[in-house]
Amino acid sequence: MSNDPQTRERVRALVREVLQTALPMEDDASQAAASTGPVTNAQPQQSTLTPARIAPSDAVAPVVDTQQESPVARDESAKKVITETDMRGLEAGARLRIAEDARLTPLAADIVREKGIELVRRTPRRGSQKTKLIAVGADHGGFLMKEELRGFLGELGHHVRDFGTYSTDAVDYPDFAHQVARAVADTEVDVGIIIDGAGVGSCITANKVPGVRAAACYSIDVARNSREHNDANVLTLGSKTITAQEMREIVRAWLATEISEERHRKRVTKMTAIERQYTR
């Protein structure tokens, strides 16, 4: 830069002008973001609630990302609106998982504030809903198909966390199904896929873990239905009931389908409510 005093003064004046005009615009943007719909990041100062029907942002606890290690007390991420009923039974300081775009009713927001409830928003990993972190597991009967599955998931652009088994030596399928289910329930991964001889035993085991909705699928139609209607987060397959090509088609359809209609979300919410009756 030139050492000429007039040049330096013009640069300083330009910087002052930029700062004076930029800062108000940033403030306006922050206010606009706070008055609109859901917030996807984890800033306590920003509102996660809409005006009029929903309490202001300073009335609730900070919303954090689902990448945290500590477990949540309850998962209500299938709901679009969180009410005071969803808060019942939560202890002070508990962590509640909610959907990325979920809203809280005023009474629910009051309970969050009074009890210091920590809201954990389920957000897409790596900035894309298309790319998933997938837990895979299998017993000795599903080992070979699991190895092929791993390669196929890589071809689709997904990331894999392999919980074993790692050979055809005889093992017990509940051990591996449990590990995959726990990873899904604790949001260490997005979804899970488990393979054993028939797919039934692993499905039963996985569904013992609160927060897991496992589906044993033997066709593309069933796979799509389990996601669109039931929001299944674990897929189980039987290596003795389907071919490698059928496995690819089922997995592709299952991963490409999402729950969408509110009537399906309502029914999944009822599943969660039933589960809660037996896990308190």
What is the edge-to-edge ordering of all strands in the sheet holding 214-216? 159-162, 133-138, 191-196, 234-238, 214-216
Please name the amino acid found at residue 113. Answer: R
Decide the pairing of beta strands 159-162 and 118-122: unpaired
Q: Which helix (H) or strand (E) holds 233?
A: none
Helices (H), 96-243: 106-115, 143-155, 173-185, 200-206, 220-228
What does residue 59 show for φ and ψ, rounded to 5 degrees?
-95, -5
What does residue 209 show for φ and ψ, rounded to 5 degrees?
-90, 120
Q: How far apart are CA 99 and CA 122, in angstroms?
A: 5
**How far from the centroid of its chain's Cα atoms is residue 200's Cα?**
25
Q: How far apart are CA 66 and CA 131, in angstroms?
A: 16
Structure tokens, 134: 């997938």
- Residues catalogued as catalytic: 229
